[in-house]
Amino acid sequence: MERIAVYPGSFDPITMGHIDVIERSLGFVDRVVVAVTNHSRKNSLFTIEERVALIRTIYDKSKRVEVDRFNGLLVNYMKKKRINIILRGLRAVSDFEYEFQMLLANRKLDSRIETVFLMPGEEFFFISSSIVKEIASLKGDVSMFVPEVVAEALKKKFKY
């Protein structure tokens, strides 16, 4: 049976840390579905269509990474897709508390769902989409934090 994991998030934008988590997960799952959503508490820089397109560009040659979008509860999306593994990245202790709450809520909503936490490599540990957007908004070089296609998209968004 094929092992498929869903990696949910807003990915606004996707960073090298996200990519590192995806690549690490391919060591123990057959496929990863990067499930892009709008986060209710965040104002997105990129539209969901733009974020999906950027990620698809990055993984256009991969047969093991699928990019999709969803709205609503993650557990409902997973039931629809018949997937029971959630992939989540952890960077700091502050991430853990929120992620632990989400794990418990998802488990209550569907006991068949398991959550796997991965930490990105130390070179990506401090990277967040928020930091990338802040640097880019001030016309800083983000090329070490995001794939080239994302760096170019940020330049266009911030008009430089």
pLDDT of residue 20 exceeding 80, the answer is yes
For 67, other C-beta atoms within 10 Å of its C-beta total: 23
pLDDT in tens, 64-123: 999 999 999 999 999 999 999 999 999 877 788 889 999 999 999 999 999 999 999 999
User: Which domains are present in the chain?
Assistant: 4-132 (3.40.50.620)
Q: Which of 78, 79, 85 is nearest to 116 (CA)?
A: 85
Q: Which positions are catalytic?
A: 18, 42, 91, 129
Helix axes 148-157, 129-137, angle to 10 degrees: 50
User: Is pTM beyond 0.75 here?
Assistant: yes
Instruction: Indicate the DSSP class of residue 145.
Output: T
Residue 41 confidence (pLDDT): 74
29 pLDDT band, cuts 50/70/90, is very high
- Judge whether 86 and 116 are in contact, CB under 8 Å: yes
Question: Which pLDDT belongs to residue 102?
Answer: 93
Averaged pLDDT for residues 6-30: 97
Query: What's the CA gap between 117 and 128, in Å, rounded?
Result: 16
Q: Mean pLDDT over residues 14-33, rounded? A: 98
pLDDT for position 95? 81
